[in-house]
Structure 1
Amino acid sequence: MSTETNKLKLKIPSYSDEVENFVRDMGFNFEILDLISDDYVSATPTSGDYIRTKRLYNTTPVYGGFVGWINVRTGKAAPMWKSLKTYVNGDYIIPNVDNGHVYICIQSGTSAFTEPIFPVSTGIEFNDTRMSSTWAATTQYKLNDIVLPTIDNGRFYICIQAGESGNTEPPWQQVDGATTYDKNASWATYRICRWKEAGSAALFYPFGKIG
């Protein structure tokens, strides 16, 4: 019967082991060694799950730079939110100012011009339409203003030509990128992106100043 090493708890086969047990133990050992082996990256990751204390080594260390990065919070790595970017179901993002949470896209669409105020309650869902307002007649709109139709159609509209809206609500286009003409104002069409709070975000800090 196999025993274990003190530090890594690797399996030490015994002479009496059957071939099947020996192969199983060696496979277990290889998995442990692969798990603890050093990883080399050129930048902090934007995908994957990482435990606290996970270290990633810099593939291109230079004088004045760092040896690598260490994760100080168990969680998922994700790219930062970007404005007017198309996201699809299953995409993950984190806020540009860390709040400890990661968010998953649950409705494919385009992010708004202004970053959301990200909620931190577990599992909460929200639309990416910050700074939007319901369309109003004879109103002066400026570039990048966002409006929602008076009757929800799952889309938001961003002003691409400043001007005054018409006396009556226009027939809104529903194809992404299509333009709705509204008296002196013009609007580009985007499908609303929807997010859900999805747990803890990994947080990497550089370590090992060089020089």
Structure 2
Amino acid sequence: MSTLTTRLGLIKPEHSDETHQTILDLSQNFDIIDAAAERYAPAPPISGNHTIRDRIWNERPAVGSYAGWICTRTGRAAPAWTGLTSYSLGQTIVPTADNGHYYECIQAGYSAVQEPTFPVTSGTEVEDTKAATTWTANKAYAQNEVVFPTIDNGRFYVCTVAGDSGMFEPVWATSNGYITNDGTVAWSSYRIAKWREAGVSTMFRPFGKIE
């Protein structure tokens, strides 16, 4: 009867084991060894699921940097949110300031200029439109201010040329990046992205400062 090794739990076949079962056992051993192998990267991971104690070695160690990064929280890795970025359905992100959660894009579109306040309740949704206000006539707008049309069209508009809005609401462009002229203001059009809380995000911390 086969036995297990102490540290990795590898299967040690016996000469009496069937050939087919021995091959399956050895295949399982290879998977275990591969999972336990040291990993190298230039930075902490931004994709995949990771378990506490997972360790990534810095493939470019240098004085003043770290030997690597270690997982201190089991979860999923994702890139940090960035402003005015196109996101596709199913893409995932984490907030720029860790809150222990990651978020899945449930409506393809663009992030706004300012990062939204991401909810931490499971499955909660949020539109990526922080600081947006409804368009107003005869108003001074600064660059990067964000508005909605008075009638919702699923888009937000970013001020790219500061100025004063017109007396009447413009006909809003409905293609990403297209410009709407409004008095002396110019607005760029973006489809609204929407996020849903999707679970626990992983956390990697650096270790081994190289002096």
Alignment TM-score, normalising by the size of structure 2: 0.96
Partner of 1:127: 127
Relative to structure 2, which stretch is displaced further, 162-171 or 117-126?
A: 162-171
Give per-residue Cα distances to partners, 1:120-139, cap 9 Å, x unaligned.
Answer: 11111111000000111221
Report the alpha carbon displacement of residue 6 of structure 1 after superposing the two structures with TM: 2.3
Instruction: State the identity as a percent.
Output: 47
Q: CA deviation at 1:65?
A: 2.1
The residue aligned with 1:73 is 73
Q: Secondary structure at the match of 1:72?
A: strand
Q: Which residue of structure 1 aligns with residue 83 of structure 2?
A: 83
How big is the shift at 1:50?
0.5
One-letter identity of the residue aligned with 1:43:
A
Rounded Cα–Cα distance in structure 2 between residues aligned with 1:112 and 1:23: 54
**Structure 2 CA distance for aligned equivalents of residues 4 and 87 of structure 1:** 47
**Equivalence map 1:149-164=2 (5 Å):** 149-164=149-164
The within-5 A match list for 1:61-210 is 61-210=61-210
Residue type of the partner of 1:82? Answer: T
Aligned-pair CA distance for 1:154: 0.8
**Higher mean Cα deviation, 152-161 or 164-173?**
164-173
Deviation, 1:113, is: 0.6
Deviation at 1:5, TM superposition (A): 1.7
CA distance in 2 between partners of 1:209 and 1:181 (Å): 53
Unaligned runs of 5+ in 2: none
**Runs of 4+ with >3 A deviation:** none
* TM-score, scaled to structure 1: 0.96
What residue ranges of structure 1 are gaps of 5+ in the alignment?
none
> CA offset at residue 2 of structure 1?
1.5
Q: How many residues are aligned here?
A: 211
